[in-house]
Amino acid sequence: MSCEQYMIRQISLFSENKPGRLAAMAKACQEENVNILAFSIAEAEGFGVIRALVDKPDVAFKKLTSMGFNVAFTHVIAVEMKDEPGGLFEIASKLSEAGINIEYSYAFSGKNKAILILRVDQVEEAIRLLHSHKFTLIASESIQ
């Protein structure tokens, strides 16, 4: 199994914590017809990082960089999660048993299932582990 296909490029964007920054980023995506599949904001003192999974990461990267944003790609993995009590535990406990640390994570639940997006310290190990436990990982080419 190639781990490569399950590494999804997340866009990470440095932003000052002030009104209008998310709107500016979102508007840019709209203009370029880039769909945001999932996103979260992490904040520290006065600034934050906007993280987003988008369908056209290269287009978004180019557009946002040209607007002066500080943008970087980060590899994350996305795994299907049962949308029921215990769904998160199932995944988190497997990673924990293997000593893999979750640096951050965000999730969304759709119609039939939930998706958990994970940034871990050992990406390939996490992919192999989840794969071996029959979890469904989202391949990057299926969304990007």
Partner 1 sequence: MFWDEAIETIKPADLKILQEKRLRETVSRCANVGFYQKKFKEAGLRPSDIQTIEDLQKLPFTRKTDLRDGYPFGFLAVPLRDVVRIHTTSGTTGKPTVVGYTAGDINTWADLIARNLTMVGLTKDDVFQNMVNYGMFTGGLGFHYGAEKAGLTAVPSGTGNTKRQIEMIHDFGVTAIHCTPSYGLHLAEAAAEMKMDLSSLRVGIFGAEPWSEKTRNELQEKLGVEAFDSYGMSELYGPGVAFECSEHNGLHIWHDSYLVEIIDPKTGENLGPGERGELVVTPLTKEAMPLLRYRTGDITMIMEDECPCGRGPKLARFTGRSDDMLVIRGINVFPSQIEHVLLSIPEVGNHYMVYVDRVNHMDEMTIDVEVSRENFHGELADLKNVQNKVIKSLRDVLELRTTVHLVEPGTLPRFEGKAKRVVDRRGDD
3-state secondary structure 109-132: ECCCCEEEEEEECCHHHHHHHHHH
Q: How far is the CB of 53 from partner 1 (least distance, A)?
A: 13
Q: How far apart are CA 137 and CA 24, in angstroms?
A: 31
Q: How far is CA 134 from CA 1, 23, 91, 94, in A?
A: 13, 39, 11, 12
Stretch 8-67 residues interacting with partner 1 (CB under 8 A): 10, 12, 14-16, 42, 44-49, 51
Residue closer to partner 1 (CB basis): 16 or 84: 16
CB closer to partner 1 out of 49 and 114: 49
User: How far is residue 120's CA from residue 127's CA, in Å, rounded to a whole number?
Assistant: 10
The interface mask with partner 1, positions 105-144, x = CB under 8 A, is ----------------------------------------
Chain contacts with partner 1 (rule: CB under 8 A): 10, 12, 14-16, 42, 44-49, 51, 68-74, 103-104
